[in-house]
Structure 1
Amino acid sequence: MSDWIIISSVTGIYLLIVLIVGIAARRGQKSTLEGYITGGRSVGIVVLFFILGAEIFSAFTFLGAPGQAFTTGAPALYILAYLSLALILWWVIGPRVATLGRRYGYLSQADLFADRFSSKSVPVVMSIMSVVALIPYLTIQITGAGLLFTFATDGQVPFWLGSLVAFAICTIYVFVSGLKGIGWTNLLQGILMLVVAWAIGIAAVFQLFGTVDNMFSDIREVSPEYLIMPGGGDGWTWAAFSSAIVLSVLGFVMWPHVFNKSYSAESNRHIKRTVVLYPLYALLVVPILLAGFAAITTVQEGDIERPDAVMSHLIVNLLDLPPIVIGLMLAGAVAAAMSTGANLAHTAASIVVRDFISHVKKEALKDSVAVSITKWCVVIISALAFILAVLNVQTIVQLFLIAYGIVIQFLPITFATLFWRRATFAGVMSGMLAGLGVTIYFTFVQPTPFDIEPGLWGVAVNTICLVMISLFTKPMAREHTERFVRPKASTEIAAQPELSRPVTVHRVNEHEKQSQTEVSSPAP
């Protein structure tokens, strides 16, 4: 039997298991929009940990990270730096966001801001910005799955077929089970990713060099520039390196799916524990980066067509591995793409329905209709991303470059919502649009000053506009803003204007009683 058939069969069996687990997760889930998007707000610490982990460990982890280490060396370590700090802001704002979400029935990131600023315009603008950032990110996951199949089977499984199979399965279980399907499959896939990552790292280092010390000694002798900043090839300056870390840390917690998944947490304690445990995911990245460093002296640039093929080249051509093991490694790498892709498709669909259609449509959607539309949006968005991946649309790369620059523009409005009563609708809206404009300008028109990431310049302008315009416009009623700035002090739910009321009825429940004792201390 040919090796590629064995490799494909092992991966196929794994994909079938994922499909079964994803569909079975639907058992016991209510057929409501809240159940589909938040899992009934009952997700425990273990599943929440793996759900949030899937947001960051994607096709980039198994393709882009080793490719970055192979082409530049030391600058690739920025991944470990921002990973350790990725959720640090969420320790402060996560419990507040989750408390408000449970109290007022929020299902999306923009629900919070629409309620705070009593505006339908805020969620509509944010939904457009979010989907523009999420679709290319999803496209990259589909591209990664297709490339992995092609590399591992030496082209026997074409790109379009590999990506189609992986994301058809992903779309099916998200369609059927919503967040619970994502949660339980991410748990399965997260464990496999961890095992596979270490198997790849250990095999690459010890088969090619014997020890880690020997590997770095070899790099020091042949290409020492790869071990210091700014690195080899097209290296980074210190400003670019540092600003990339800051942009990633601040932008990571602004992705819409981080808000959405935090609404699903069973308690605020689970959110804080997740923040503490999150740096453990570095255990997955370290061996992958080691594999990238191992390629610096063993792989020539002419051996591969693109840097993100370096890990697959190592596995298939340089390491002595049986086909079954290669199949398991392929399954683990595809798992990274699928776990992130499932989250992205689910979040993008919920944003389209919850933040765009529900606010543009004059009449409120029935819950059953909203669930049905959200499910079909998962299919449509996944299909669109698949088409873009197959067509290899060049602008996708440019869109991905500003994806973090887009979502980080939600940072000022988040802090204004939770900590500053004086913020107004005019201030936050003008700030978001100005910040987005500056980010686009420094990304596509003018080189960014001092090698600082464009998104950070955008946030600076965003914050200035928000503060200045808010100070010169009429403040909102204190009893309204008090609900957000001091959620612990609000024991009753104020009547909401029809303009900003979320689809789900606001209510006080047992989760709220618990959250009132857990939410972090209010700001002065």
Structure 2
Amino acid sequence: MLVVLGMLAVFYAIVIGILYATQQRTSPSFDEYSVGNRSYGPWYVAMSYVNSWWPGSTFIAFFGLAAGAGVFGLYGLAYSTLGVATMYFMATRAWRWGARYDLRSQGDLLGLRFNSRPVKLVASVIGIVSLFPWVVLGMQAFGEIFRYASGDRWPVTVCLVVGLVVIVVRQYWTVRMGMRGLIMTDMFQGLVAYVFSAALCLVLLTGVAGGPISFAALSRVSETVLRVPGDGGHYGPFYLFSLIFTGVIGSLCWPTSFQRIYTASGVRSVKAGTVRTVLLSGGFYTLLMLLGIAATTMPAVAASPQAGWFTIMQSYGGTWLLGLGITIVFAASMGHVDGSVQVCGLQIANDLVNSERRQLSDSQLMKVAKGSMAGYMVLGGVVAYLTFNMTRLQLLAQVSYQGIVQLAVPLFLGIFWRGGNARGAVSGMVSGFAVAMVLTFIYPDDIAGLGSLTGGIVGIAVNLVVFLAVSAATGTSAEEKARVEAMFEVARNPVRVATHPVPIVEPVGTAVPGGQLNG
């Protein structure tokens, strides 16, 4: 136990050390606080995106899916890889509009595109509400981490309280430094959580030193492990399609993912970061799932699939390897919770509180953002404590995912199409979100009568129909058409980036000179 806790303490100390060493000594502007002054290169963008996408529960829930249900777990690879590709195609307009109009959030972009504060408010509220269950689950994951780290000697309450204290201390720096603190630590946390874990999976699968599993074990898995829902069983033919489709279009609907575009130093950095993200994410997740599938041959893993990652670590290398495995999950959990809390605090300050009638100064915006982060985190901790043994909490996570994809209709159509209007966007999002939440509550998994479609897919269909119908019925003025046309014209040309008063630490070749046309 002391060895594992010691490894976690060393990792945690390095993270705090990085934050302390890279903190800005002068007071930052809100643009620096929220998007890092749009100054980061492709590797920072890629690692930050991966940290915001794969939570620590990937090593528990998704690994358990592969270890328990086999190749079904690979559906996450399909939607994550295809979804990240969307960022590549959105990069030019999203980043140039962000730099030109000083956009700081996803709600900012939608509000600008449709020239409507209600659009901005609705989009931001959907994002904030949808992220909350994942913050709760992330905090609960810390409780699980310390349960394994203590060798199951600590009571559940103690494990959860220790986990909450750890993330609260870490969040002090997120509140203080904003996006800069996330970017700087995401690189280190990402190396541990995704690069080291991928290498570890590869070593385990090679069967070095006679480990319990290997690539050869993949040839011995049972036939049931090679089936996916819809290939027999009670699921209909559209279930897997629904999961992948929802994941693909929803990948950039999460505010944490979308905001990474704005931190980049230019369009090239976003696109290069996208390529790196695909390689990092695809390589890591593929190896993790193959390890899980191969582990179906281990009786101990088959008995408890969600604990499979920890079971393999201990079976293969004892205490030290178990400690490394727990540290990897710890790193992934920390990065995901950090990103979620930061972006929600930003959107509360920038999208909900700040307005044209009540314009806040940079100092006021940062105070509201910091207070919002603290409040959001405390609320998440309280709910995590109260619902630690609540099995139905998974339903909230499902509702949140089916809900967040309702941003896809105005977001994607708004970026790639000049049509539509604010009334259509608001009506579509509200109706789609409501339908998705109600259906997902009634049918948490799938809707059997619709071939196992999910509530989110039905919601998106309603969203799209309402968006197009209301937009067509209410029309768009000539002035609005001209404004939108001017926006699309802005996206055709490189945009000037303002000078950052304090140089940001960057790898060679990624720094952005003040005033340079970049993207």
How far 1:197 sits from its partner (Å)? 4.0
- Contact 2:186–2:335, Cα closer than 8 Å, also in 1: yes
Cα drift, residue 55 of structure 1: 1.6
Aligned partner letter, 1:175? V
For residues 215-271 of structure 1, give each alpha carbon's deviation from its aligned partner in whole angstroms, at most 9, with x where no partner exists: 12332xxx3211233499988655212221111111001111223221111010011
Which residue in 1 is equivalent to 2:310?
Answer: 312
SS of the residue corresponding to residue 319 of structure 1 reads helix
Name the CA distance, whole Å, in 2 between partners of 1:391 and 1:200: 35
Conserved in 2, the CA contact under 8 Å of 1:148 and 1:312? Answer: no
Counterparts in 2 of 1:302 and 1:288: CA distance versus 1, 3 Å: closer
1:192 aligns with 2:192: yes
CA deviation after TM superposition for structure 1 residue 294, in Å:
3.6
2:204 corresponds to which residue? 203
Residue of structure 1 in register with 2:219 after alignment = 217
The Cα of 1:490 is off from its aligned counterpart by 8.2
AA aligned to 1:409 is Q
Unaligned runs of 5+ in 2: 497-511
1:159 counterpart letter in structure 2: C
Residue in 2 aligned with 1:499?
A: none
CA distance in 1, matches of 2:231, 2:166: 35
Counterparts of 1:239 and 1:480, CA distance in 2:
41
Separation in 2 of the partners of 1:45 and 1:259? 15
1:467 Cα deviation from its structure 2 partner: 1.0
Per the alignment, residue 382 of structure 2 pairs with 387
Instruction: Indicate the residue corresponding to 1:463 in structure 2.
Output: 464
User: Equivalences for 1:231-246 in 2 at 5 Å?
Assistant: 238-246=237-245
What is the 5 A alignment of 1:333-412? 333-359=329-355, 362-392=357-387, 394=390, 396-412=393-409
8 Å contact kept, 2:229–2:235: yes
Q: 1:492 to 1:243 in 2, by over 3 A?
A: closer
Compute the displacement of 1:442 (Å): 2.2
The answer to which of 81-90 and 425-434 deviates more is: 81-90
Comparing 204-213 and 73-82, the one that deviates more = 204-213
Residue 81 of structure 1 corresponds to which residue in structure 2? 78
| Range moving further from structure 2, 419-428 or 290-299 | 290-299
- Contact 1:229 1:235 survives alignment (8 Å): no
- CA gap 1:29/1:110 in 2 versus in 1, 3 angstroms: farther
> What is the deviation of 1:386?
1.7
The Cα shift of 1:34 comes to: 0.8
The answer to whether the 8 Å contact 1:41/1:263 transfers is yes
What corresponds to 2:489 in structure 1?
A: 486
Q: How does 1:147-296 map to 2 (within 5 A)?
A: 147-157=144-154, 158-193=158-193, 194-200=195-201, 202-203=203-204, 206=207, 207-209=210-212, 211-213=214-216, 215-219=217-221, 223-230=222-229, 238-280=237-279, 281-296=281-296
Give the alignment's TM-score, normalised by structure 1: 0.86
In structure 2, do the counterparts of structure 1 residues 103 and 418 end up closer, same or farther at CA, with 3 Å as the change threshold?
Answer: same
1:15-30 counterparts in 2 under 5 A? Answer: 15-27=12-24, 30=27
Deviations 1:412-466 (A, max 9, x none): 1113322333311111111111111221232122552211232122112111111
Deviations 1:311-358 (A, max 9, x none): 223323x3332x333222211110000111111000011111111111
Residue 30 to residue 44, structure 1, CA distance change in 2 (3 Å): farther
Greater Cα offset, 111-120 or 59-68: 111-120
Distance 1:205 1:383 in 2: 44
CA contact (8 A) 1:150 1:159 kept: yes
SS at match of 1:514: coil
Query: What is the rounded CA distance, in whole Å, between the counterparts of 1:112 and 1:273 in structure 2?
Result: 22
Tell me the SS of whatever aligns to 2:420. coil
Name stretches of at least 5 consecutive residues in structure 1 with no aligned partner: 494-508, 519-524
Q: Which residue of 1 aligns with 2:113?
A: 116
**Cα distance in 2, alignment partners of residues 311 and 150 from structure 1:** 14
Q: What secondary structure does 2:178 align onto?
A: helix
Residues of 1 paired with 2:352 and 2:180: CA distance? 24
Q: 2:506 is matched with which residue?
A: none
Per the alignment, do residues 233 and 514 of structure 1 end up closer, same or farther by CA in structure 2, a change over 3 Å counting? same
Task: Spell out, residue by residue over 1:274-324, the C-alpha distance to the aligned partner (whole angstroms, 9 max, x if none).
Answer: 2222221222123322332243232358954xx4222223323x3332x33
CA contact (8 A) 1:103 1:512 kept: no
C-alpha distance 313-205 of structure 1, shift in aligned 2 (>3 A)? farther
Superposed counterparts of 1:469-508, under 5 Å? 469-476=470-477, 477=479, 478-488=481-491
CA shift in 2, pair 1:272/1:236, >3 Å: farther
8 Å CA contact retained: 2:39, 2:263: yes
Question: Quick one: structure 1 residues 152 and 319, their matched pair in 2 at CA, closer, same or farther if it must change by over 3 Å?
Answer: farther
* Counterpart residue type for residue 488 of structure 2: V
> What is the distance in 2 between the residues matched to 1:309 and 1:235?
26
Matches of 1:236 and 1:144 in 2, distance apart? 29
The residue matched to 2:228 in structure 1 has which SS? coil
Q: Shift in Å at residue 118 of structure 1? A: 2.6
Q: 1:59 to 1:211 in 2, by over 3 A?
A: closer
* Pairing 1:96–2:98 present: no
Distance 1:229 1:417 in 2: 35
Q: 1:235 to 1:291 in 2, by over 3 A?
A: farther
Label 1:401 to 1:512 Cα distance change in 2 as closer, same or farther (>3 A): farther
Residue 463 to residue 232, structure 1, CA distance change in 2 (3 Å):
closer
TM-aligned CA distance change 1:201 to 1:153, over 3 Å: farther
Equivalent in the alignment of 1:71: 68
Cα distance between partner residues in 2 of 1:326 and 1:310:
11
Q: Give the letter for the 1:218 counterpart.
A: R
Contact 2:48 2:187 in 1 (8 A): yes
* Residue 331 (structure 2) pairs with residue 331 (structure 1): no
Q: 1:71 Cα deviation (Å)?
A: 1.8
- Distance in 1 (CA, whole Å) between partners of 2:111 and 2:23 is 30
Distance 1:110 1:455, change over 3 A: same
Specify the SS of the correspondent of 1:364: coil
Number of equivalenced pairs = 489
Name the CA distance, whole Å, in 1 between partners of 2:255 and 2:86.
Answer: 15
Partner Cα separation in structure 1 for residue 514 and residue 120 of structure 2: 25
Shift in CA distance, 303/268, structure 1 to aligned 2, threshold 3 Å = same
